[in-house]
Chains A and B, each alone.
Chain A
Amino acid sequence: MNIGKQMKRGLLTENPAAVGLLGLSTALAVTTSLSGGLGLGLCALAVLVLSNTILSALGPYLPKGTHTVSAVIITATLSGVADLVVQAFLPSLAGDLGLYLPLLAATCVLLNGAGAFAYANTVALSALEGLFRGLGYALVLILTGIIRELLGKGSFGEGLLNGGRGLRVFPARFAAGGMVHPVGGFLALACVVALVQFLSARRPGKRKEGTKG
């Protein structure tokens, strides 16, 4: 399988969040700021790469009937490790993520399809698949986070840049507070999913014929 095609699948045409509708609960809940989206996106990326690698390496030695259960155990354990690492080294991020940090386990089991790809492919391919799907998921989270933080708080990168204060784009009193509430999450995610659909439908050099309406 060619790597460019695999990348396009993971990032655009089969983007796990925008097209597969997986892990959307988390994508909506943690993206009130760039730091939340980035933090959880990177956790998911790490867990996906590691779990896909381990599962595809173990695959041939596991009895067929235990595939799903092994995938759940391994992915949940890795997510548990990620959870503990974030709690230990980034306690403020862990506080922001709250309930959704342990829920990473459920999200990642869905994102790697309980090892459906990993069991059927080689270790290298599975690691790449995990990388691209994780990147696709992380990108959606990061974009949504940027939009919501910018419109909802008027800042960029709070908790990350400028010694944790973030860059002020416009004064906070002009910000649309609703964007950091669930409403804003749905609206911002809608825009990001529309962007992904737009980019996936675009063919280089030749425009897709628009249908009526």
Chain B
Amino acid sequence: MNEQFFSLMSIALGAILVGNVVLTQLLGVGPFLGSSGSLRTAARMGLAVTLVMGLTAAACWPINAYLLLPNGLKHIETAAFLLTAVLLVELLDLLVKTLSRSGKGLPGGALPLAANCAALGVVLQNVQNGSGFLESLVYALAGGLGFLLVIVLFAGLRERLEFADCPQSFRGVPLALVTAGLMALCFTGFSNLSVFG
């Protein structure tokens, strides 16, 4: 029990700091740059991505283990996972639209959230590593939390960048990319971190 807890903690810390989804593995950079204009939108986006990643990983694991692997359908796994993600997120979007008082759906729209590389990439990594259900789920949720951490930090930086004096062509996205690059450089500092051995 204790051992399993530590191994899950080490997976989680690894996914948040050492192998951060956005800055180290370069997954989900689109929503990272697109929704980091203010702290509020960034936090909403980060939470939505965490939810989507967790749900997708939880849904794709049984599909892979009980449907694809026993029937020798490995070659269509990507298509199957992507379709699962899209259907799940459309459902989630409907649910959020019905429940929220403002009537708004998920931030950024259902399709970009579902088809972002972070959700699908983490599922594919889980399959490649042959992880169990709990490990897959923890890895995906921790990946989402890593995304949340980085996008909130990044939004804080970007609010300051509004006033930066830079060449006209570098305004907006290019300057954000340079900032993200410097953040990625900082995160390489975590690369040798090992807390639980």
Contact = CB atoms under 8 A, between A and B. Distances in A.
Contacts of A26: 117
B124 A21 contact: no
Nearest to B183: A186
Contacts of A193: 173-174, 177
Among the interface residues A21, A186, A191, which one has the most CB atoms of the partner chain B within 10 A?
Answer: A186
A191 B167 CA distance: 12
A189 B30 contact: no
A194 B188 contact: no
B165 interface: yes
Contact of B26 (A25, A109, A178, A201): A25
Nearest to B125: A99
B75 A84 contact: yes
B171 to A, nearest CB: 8
A76 B120 CA distance: 12
A183 B181 contact: yes
B6 interface: no
B72 to A, nearest CB: 15
A201 B169 contact: yes
B29 A68 contact: no
Interface residues of A, number: 50
Interface string A105-143: 111011000100000000000000000000000000000
A69 B89 CA distance: 12
A73 interface: yes
Contacts of A109: 82, 86, 111, 115
A40 interface: no
B184 A182 contact: yes
A211 B174 contact: no
B140 to A, nearest CB: 15
B196 to A, nearest CB: 25
A92 B185 CA distance: 29
Contact of A186 (B112, B124, B171, B181): B181
Contacts of B172: 197
Contacts of B173: 18-19, 21, 190, 193, 197
B82 A195 contact: no
Contacts of B171: 197
A158 interface: no
A203 B180 CA distance: 30
Given A106-B120, A185-B181, A190-B177, A76 B87 contact: no
6 contacts: A72-B86, A73-B79, A106-B82, A106-B115, A190-B175, A213-B165
Interface of A: 18-19, 21-26, 28-29, 68-69, 72-73, 76-77, 79-80, 83-84, 99-100, 102-103, 105-107, 109-110, 114, 178, 181-187, 189-191, 193-195, 197-198, 201, 210-211, 213
